[in-house]
Structure 1
Amino acid sequence: MPDYCSGGWSGRLRQVLLPCWPAGWLVTELGRQPWTIFGMLRTAESVSSMPLSWVITSCCGVIVIYGLVFGFGLRHFLRYASGPLPQGSDVVVTAIPTST
């Protein structure tokens, strides 16, 4: 299996951008509670009343589901991107009518 994080500028770009996805998600999720951050609601009032085991289970479930979706999507994308370009009759060219 080829190493997708090496080789030229695109490999270095992937290594830099890969941590940005979870960082952006973290910033988005933290931004969902501005009323707590700006002092309009106390932190104790914004805590869930569910048992800790339910909170941990639901968080782990979301992480597993997101991880599976991301993993399968990334695997599909990398396989598609590393495949050969279509040649000859495999390429379908459709004429787009333009108004003249």
Structure 2
Amino acid sequence: MGTGTAAERSSALEATVEELQGLVQANAADLEELKEQVKDMGEVLKTLVAKIDALTQQREGKGVMTPSFSGDKIRGKETVCAGASPLCEALILRFGN
């Protein structure tokens, strides 16, 4: 930027500032989207914790239903929850019984 007239340098600076403002606005929009995703993930985690607590209570005999140890299988893996929900199934497949 050492060459050119003051008007050219000023014009180049204005273009750079406008570009940076666009990037800041895009980043702010991305940040808001990420905040929403984190909020949604927090809700999913709360639900997951509640379901895990319910399963733990069932295992300990505190729940309304007792877990089934009858050898239910999900894709070849034995599980302790009969009629597993998709969430439970995914957790079992990921982390085991």
TM bucket (normalised to shorter chain) is: 0.3 to 0.5
More strand by share: 2
Larger Rg: 2
Given the two structures, how large is their TM-score scaled by the length of structure 2?
Answer: 0.40
